[in-house]
Structures are given as structure tokens and as C-alpha cells.
Amino acid sequence: MTTHRFEAVLGADAGDLPAVVLPADVAAAMGGRARIPVAGTINRVAFRGSTMPMGGGRHCVGFRKEIRTQAAVDIGDLVAIEIARDDAPRTVAVPADLAAALAAEPGVRAAFDAMSYTHRREWVEAVDGAKRPETRARRVAQAVDAARARIA
């Protein structure tokens, strides 16, 4: 796995997105015309994500708010990027209550597991982020409904 290093201005050439555009040689070296799974650092703060194709062979990688906060960066700042292709499996630790609800009906857990890593992570974060038990129960039910809707 080759690590590529470069500096870029956060948001430059990416519209109003908190993202950096990969240099053409970096995008080409990582291969792929679609999304490329990546891992690296922004100002020495670790991140994991995927590139977004922008057309014309260009790719950008966006940074979630918590990563930007940890890295103390904002749109318009010059950032140091280290990035590499990340082909490691992407797993999500499903909390016990969500796992039990998904297992209660045939095929629902399999449908949940077939969701993209990002969708599974977002559902788990929504459940884990609930402060009240009734909110957590509602979010578990919503996650189960979303998985059930994928069964055709």
C-alpha cells in the first residue's frame, strides 16, 4: 500500500464542500474511476472514507465535521494530506439491542448487513447517539424498518 503525501486547500476546486481534490497522479495511482476506499491523515488526524468522483478523472475526499474539528481546519485552510487506498474490510459493531431487533425477523439482519458500510455506520451511530431510552427504541425500530424495506 503506497501512501501519497500532498498539500491542498480545503474546499478549493470542490465547491462549498469540506473536501480536497486529489492530484491527478494520486487518483490515478490509487486506481478506479468510481469511489475509491481510502485511509490517511489530514494534519496528522486519522480518517477513513471514500473518494468522490468529480468527472474528468478527478476525485475528491470529504472530511466529516468531527475530523475537521480534531484537525483544527476549516474551508480555505492549507492542509497536509497523507492518503492511501484502503481495501481492508469495513465493519460496524452493531449494539446488542439493534442486533436482537434485526434478528427477530427472517432476512432482516442479512438485509442490514447488505447495506453499504456508510449506511450501517449511520444507523449504529443514530442508535448509540440517543440520550433517552424511548429515542433509542424509536431509532432501533427505524433501522429495522430500513433494513426490512430492502427485502424484495
pTM, two decimals, is 0.69
- Kindly report, as residue ranges, where domains of CATH 2.40.30.100 are found in the chain: 4-85
Per-residue pLDDT of the chain (152 residues; tens, 9 = 90+): 699 999 999 988 877 789 999 998 898 888 867 888 999 999 999 999 889 988 887 899 999 999 999 999 999 999 999 999 998 888 899 999 999 999 999 999 999 999 988 899 999 999 999 999 999 999 999 999 999 999 96
pLDDT at 97: 97
Query: What CA–CA distances, in Å, run from 89 to 22, 54, 66, 111?
Result: 23, 25, 22, 18
Q: What is the CATH number of domain 4-85?
A: 2.40.30.100
Looking at residue 118, what is its pLDDT?
Answer: 85
> CB–CB of 11/18 below 8 Å?
yes
What is the structure's pLDDT at 65? 92
Mapping DSSP to helix (H, G, I), strand (E, B) and coil, where does residue 95 land? coil
Q: How many helices (H) and strands (E) in the chain? A: 6, 6
Phi, psi of 103 (to 5 degrees): -80, -10
Nearest to 67 by CA among 17, 18, 15: 18
Instruction: Name the one residue in this structure whose C-alpha cell is 444507523.
Output: 123
pLDDT at residue 28, rounded to an integer:
86
Question: CA separation (Å) from 96 to 41, 101, 102, 127?
Answer: 31, 9, 10, 11
pLDDT at residue 107, as a whole number: 94
User: Residue 115 corresponds to which cell in the numbers above?
Assistant: 447495506
